[in-house]
């Protein structure tokens, strides 16, 4: 370890105390120091680091692991705030001995906190204090950056808390995913796969190279790139939480490139396939398929649909537990309305809309899972490469082709952004053929009869210019 010698001024700057305090500690033998006639008073960087970590003086959060100030902000300002602090209309700056914190007003009028300091090479650094909500928070981030610069300059390697990835995965699943994510079971599956490879590794030992090896392992196992990317997203989110929970210092996934995914598959049900599918559906599956085709609801939304969400008077369905977390209202079409009326008449005392009859007991039960039943219906109808989620794609694509605007389609599907809805704006083969036919002509130089003549519109502007010239 580098045995760099520090001056009184350097130590007082990093410890955020007056040089007179350093001299007083030396006089009372409270701080390790070196006295040489040819050097004067000096301090070994390693000795200062060990002294801080031993807890002999805990008043300096700059070198501690607990991210809070032991002094009140008011007293801290009195002791260290310099006289060059500036308060202007659009910016406020507080200059401390180790650096500065300041605010800037954004376009929307919101204030954002920044920090200004010099790194170990003397280079000026100005950056956003990402997690700062107040001046105290910004000051803490400034202190953390100064601590990192001090460690880097004097080659100090502080002892890190050893936390295995398996422990982080448990904390992530129980305290975050199950609370904030409706699809937490998918997160649980991703974490299980990640733990098989990274579970016994400490967080600070997980490197981008190790993650690249995990990517290669999953691809060699025949896992699709989209699935691998989903697992990397879970890993990235887990490390971001670890940083906010003071369990890790950096996120290695930020330096890992995600796999390139193939173009999303386009499988739309044709009208002939729709007729065959309805004929092949069982009694309990047919209402589910019709609901998916007429509302575009997701599989889980349909499975958990309750009668208190269905308003047969106003002909509306209220979807509550959605992927985006926002409720949405979907109008009920005429054929779906008739089907729901029949279901309601036969299941008056039921809570869930879709049920099945248990063959052993004859009891009606909530129909939560119907993947196998749907796959069997597709096989009987001779429909290949079609999944239940493709019914949602079919609903959206039919709306777009019918001329419905994207904002309405977005609201019906419950998308968070219209960019997600834009994937359904692809044109079919017939639309592409008609587009090409516009440019074609027959041998006689005449356009096909079924192509609209737009020449008068194209030359309208030129004609208007000529008319203006004649009148003048």
Sequential DSSP letters for 252-288: GGGGSPPPPPPPPP-----HHHHHHHHHHS-TTTHHH
Is the CB of residue 143 less than 8 Å from the CB of residue 183?
A: no
Instruction: Tabulate helix, strand, coil % of the chain (nearest 5).
Output: 50, 10, 40
Q: Which of 14-18, 212-216, 393-397 has the lowest mean pLDDT?
A: 14-18
Is the CB of residue 100 less than 8 Å from the CB of residue 94?
A: yes
Q: Which of 24-28, 67-71, 179-183 has the lowest mean pLDDT?
A: 67-71
Region 96-116: what's the mean pLDDT? 84
Angle (deg, nearest 10), helices 225-244 and 184-198: 90
User: What is the Cα 274 distance to its own chain's centre?
Assistant: 36
Which H, E and C letters describe 371-427, residue by residue?
Answer: HHHHHHHHHHCCCCCCCCHHHHHHHHHHHHHCCCCHHHHHHHHCCCCHHHHHHHHCC
Domains of the chain by range and CATH? 5-153 (no CATH), 165-255 (1.10.150.130), 271-425 (1.10.443.10)
Sequential DSSP letters for 328-365: EEEEPPHHHHHHHHHHHHH-TT-SBS-EEE-TTT--EE
| pTM, entire model | 0.53
Band of the pLDDT at 75, cuts 50, 70, 90? low
Average pLDDT of the chain?
Answer: 79
Sequential DSSP letters for 161-184: P--BHHHHHHHHIIIIIHHH-TTH
φ/ψ (deg, to 5) at 83: -85, 5
Which H, E and C letters describe 48-73, residue by residue?
Answer: HHHHHHCCCCCCCHHHCCCCCCCCCH
The predicted structure's pLDDT at residue 208 = 93
Q: Burial level of 304, CB count in 10 A (0-12/13-18/19+)?
A: middle
Is the CB of residue 243 less than 8 Å from the CB of residue 251?
A: yes
Long-range contacts of 383-389 (CB under 8 A, 24+ apart): 383/269, 383/273, 383/276, 383/277, 385/267, 386/267, 386/269, 386/273, 387/267, 388/292, 388/299, 389/298, 389/299
The predicted structure's pLDDT at residue 458 = 46
Q: How far apart are CA 137 and CA 15, in angstroms?
A: 19
Q: How far apart are CA 186 and CA 192, in angstroms?
A: 10
Q: How far apart are the first and last CA of the chain?
A: 90
On the question of pLDDT at 131 being above 70, the answer is: yes
Q: Which of 50-64, 212-226, 289-303 has the lowest mean pLDDT?
A: 50-64
Percent of the chain with pLDDT over 90: 19
Q: How far apart are CA 147 and CA 61, in angstroms?
A: 10
φ/ψ (deg, to 5) at 352: -90, 150
The 10s digit of each residue's pLDDT in 260-307 is 877 766 788 888 999 999 999 988 889 999 999 999 898 888 888 888
Region 20-40: what's the mean pLDDT? 78
Q: How far apart are CA 10 and CA 1, in angstroms?
A: 19
The predicted structure's pLDDT at residue 209 = 94
Kindly state the tokens that stand for 346: 């036969």
The predicted structure's pLDDT at residue 447 = 53
Q: Residues near 26 by Cβ (< 8 Å), separated by ≥ 6?
A: 33, 41
């Amino acid at each position: 370890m580098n045995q760099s010698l520090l001056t009184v001024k350097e130590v007082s700057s990093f410890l955020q105390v007056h040089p007179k305090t350093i001299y007083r500690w030396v006089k009372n033998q409270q701080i390790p120091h070196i006295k040489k006639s040819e050097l004067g008073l000096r301090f070994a960087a390693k000795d200062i680091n060990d002294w801080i970590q031993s807890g002999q003086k805990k008043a300096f959060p700059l070198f501690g692991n607990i991210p809070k100030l032991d002094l009140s902000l008011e007293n801290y300002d009195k002791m260290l705030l310099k006289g060059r602090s500036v308060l202007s209309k659009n910016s406020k700056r507080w200059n401390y001995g180790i650096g500065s914190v300041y605010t800037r007003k954004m376009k929307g009028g919101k204030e954002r906190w920044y920090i200004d300091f010099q790194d170990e090479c003397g280079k000026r650094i100005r950056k956003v204090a990402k997690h700062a909500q107040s001046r105290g928070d910004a000051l803490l981030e400034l202190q953390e950056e100064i601590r990192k610069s001090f460690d880097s300059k004097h080659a100090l390697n502080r002892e890190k808390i050893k936390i295995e990835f398996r422990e982080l995965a448990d904390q992530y699943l129980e305290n975050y995913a199950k609370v904030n994510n409706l699809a937490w079971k998918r997160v649980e599956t991703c974490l299980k796969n990640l733990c098989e490879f990274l579970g016994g590794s400490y967080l600070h030992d997980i490197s981008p190279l190790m993650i690249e090896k995990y990517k290669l392992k999953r691809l060699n196992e025949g896992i699709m790139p989209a699935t691998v990317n989903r697992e990397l997203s879970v890993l990235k989110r887990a490390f971001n939480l670890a940083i906010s929970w003071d369990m890790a210092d950096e996120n290695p996934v930020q330096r890992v490139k995600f796999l390139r995914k193939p173009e999303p598959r386009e499988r739309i049900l044709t009208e002939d396939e729709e007729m065959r599918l309805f004929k092949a559906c069982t009694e309990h599956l047919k209402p589910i398929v019709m609901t998916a085709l007429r509302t575009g609801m997701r599989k889980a939304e349909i499975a958990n649909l309750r009668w208190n969400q269905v308003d047969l008077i106003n002909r509306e369905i209220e979807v509550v537990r959605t992927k985006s977390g926002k409720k949405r209202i979907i109008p009920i079409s005429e054929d779906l309305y008739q089907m729901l009326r029949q279901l309601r008449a036969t299941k008056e005392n039921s809570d869930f809309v879709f049920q099945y009859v248990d063959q052993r007991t004859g009891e009606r039960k909530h129909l939560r899972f119907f993947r196998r039943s749907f796959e069997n219906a597709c096989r009987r109808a001779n429909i290949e490469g079609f999944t239940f989620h493709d019914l949602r794609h079919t609903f959206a694509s039919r709306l777009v082709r019918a001329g419905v605007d994207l904002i309405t389609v977005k609201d019906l599907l419950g998308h968070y952004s219209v960019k997600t809805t834009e994937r359904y704006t692809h044109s079919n083969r017939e639309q592409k053929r008609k587009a090409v036919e516009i440019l074609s002509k027959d041998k006689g130089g005449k356009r096909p009869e079924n192509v609209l003549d737009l020449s008068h519109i194209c030359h309208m502007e030129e004609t208007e210019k000529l008319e203006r010239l004649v009148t003048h």
